[in-house]
Amino acid sequence: MVQAPIQGRSTAQFPASASAESPRAWIARCAPPLSGAGVGGLQPLAGLRFAAKDNIDAAGLRTTAACEAFAYAPAVNATVVQKLLDAGAALAGKTNLDQFACGLNGTRSPWGAVPNAFDPAYVSGGSSSGSAYVVATGQVDFALGTDTAGSGRVPAGLNNIVGLKPSKGLISARGVVPAAQSVDCVSIFARSVGLAAQVLDAARGYDAEDPYSRALTLADRPFPKTFRFGVPDALEFFGDTLAEAEFDRARARLRELGGVEVRFSYRSFAESAALLYESALVAERYAAIRDFFDAHEVDVMAPVRGIIAQGRAYDAADLCAAQTRLRALAQQAAAQWQAAGGQGMDLMLVPTAPTHYTIAQMQADPVVLNRNLGAYTNFVNLLDYAALSVPSSIRPDGLPFGITLIGPCGSDWQLAELGQRYHHATGLTQGATGEPLPAPLPIPGLRSPSAAPSTVRVAVVGAHLSGMPLNTQLTERGARLLAQTTTAPHYRLYALPGTVPPKPGLQRVAEGLGARIAVEVWEMPIEHYGSFVALVPAPLGIGTLALEGGGNVQGFLCEALALDGALDITAHGGWRAYLSAQAAQSQPRA
């Protein structure tokens, strides 16, 4: 069924004052906008126009990454652009950005500095500066940005719009010029949370041709009615007392919505953020465009050129050390989620940006002030979290103030549900248009807390894996693969003798004695689950498995007595790897 436009109005209906264009916001326009054909008659985004940051490919338009010497003409659309066209949206053009998506301020482009939608003397935020501006001023309904260190959130906070930074790998980055590929995300700008969530639903999906794409399982129930939100124990606003006061108001509003405020140590998060530019991790920015940069360094503007060039100074051992340090900090950060206030926290609340800067201030001190804008954003992708920047208030000086809700990987729908309630509680209007917020929308993929589950998730470890002999027991019951992941490090895996077809046995062991074992998580209609369990032969059974990163699912476990004499294959890390090793050993030697 073809749906009506989600937010009710085309951009042509906005008043002229709200549609005033900055020539620096656009790099290329489509006249008329490029439309998709739709898939199977389903066009959930029909009637909506969007823009794409100009490091995202769109067939028929050059991709510049804000560097003329780098520009090329892609033959096909980026996966995310194609998905949105298939959903009925129309592409209005490509937007300006900090060159090579390197910056958080919007002044680092040969096409010019993109102004703030509320006061042109101030920065728009970057690197997705143009995308935020054209959404805030009502020129498009939504826009795509990218987010490595906050580029999908800072521009939203500075322009009174929503910036949805999904869990890494949820939206394909194929066809996106990388900034730091292992932590890049395609992000979504909209004037309301409801629309941003609808766009995410259309854009998400596993892409086998994107090396960092993941088939993620998203939490499908809202945060508890009484939820715990963490606030850093050390807050820095760089002397901006107006921003500090607005954050105090935001904390109070979240408490009014049912939140219980707790404090947590911010040290490990801040140290993680610093690694992005102050360690060998910056080498990934150089690696992203190494061939071009080595041949055309002079064509890259300062300070982008200096930041990327830093990557040449590190060797492989430096990178390994930085990655190990990041892992250690991630462990410390994970402990804060459990320890905050003695009972843990469900999500984190931070200012999206701690202050505003004028364009003149930023150009006079481009490195330090840019770093300040990322005080609460740089760590999020490095530590694998989801985040949602939501408008919070208009300051007494007329500039917007935004907050960011941060949750564990897979909490995207939960953040959207709470973020939508928060946004509507502010009484703000949409971006810089002066238009009232539309009615709240149902958040896709989210059930009400009282709804009975319609599906069950089950982890398989052996003969039920994709392509294995018993996988049809899942597929014939309508099950679908959600994710390829591992267990928590508390299990050992054994090859069971005499089983047909061959099967492994998984056993939970004491802490420190186990390892992570590869599993697939499948989702099955609950009405078929009983017949599936009935097929499981002894000594195997169904129990509760703990997954890497938290969370429990149903899964295969083995009776301890059946493991006497069984071969311990834990070192292989999974059943597929064990079978591959067996096959290699059976090959005749040359």
Sign of CA dihedral 285, 290, 296, 298: positive
Going by the DSSP 8-state scheme, the letter that residue 176 receives in this structure is B
State the residue for tokens 């490091």. 55
Give, as one character, the DSSP assignment of residue 476.
T
Active-site entry in 124, 127, 268, 411? 127
Q: Which of the residues 22, 129, 131, 151 is marked catalytic?
A: 151
Place of tokens 């105090």: 248
Catalytic residue among 53, 94, 168, 503: 53
Structural Rg of the chain based on CA atoms: 25
Number of Cβ atoms within 10 Å of the Cβ of 546: 17
* Residue 127 annotated to the active site: yes
Could you check whether the bond before residue 504 is cis, i.e. omega within 30 degrees of 0? no
User: What count of other Cβ atoms lies within 10 Å of the Cβ of residue 176?
Assistant: 27
DSSP conformation letters of 386-436: EEEEEEEEE-TTS-EEEEEEEEETT-HHHHHHHHHHHHHHHT-EETTTTEE
CB 311 within 8 A of CB 180: no
Which of these, 154, 158, 156, 150, lies nearest to 119 by C-alpha position? 158
What is the residue type of 395?
Answer: R
Q: Phi/psi at 146 (nearest 5 deg)? A: -130, 160
User: Is 272 one of the catalytic residues?
Assistant: no
User: Which of 455, 590, 587, 443 is CA-nearest to residue 525?
Assistant: 455
Beta-carbon neighbour count of residue 19 at 10 Å?
A: 15
Torsions phi, psi for 133 (to 5 deg): -65, -45
244/239 Cα distance (integer angstroms): 9
Supply the residues annotated as catalytic.
53, 127, 151
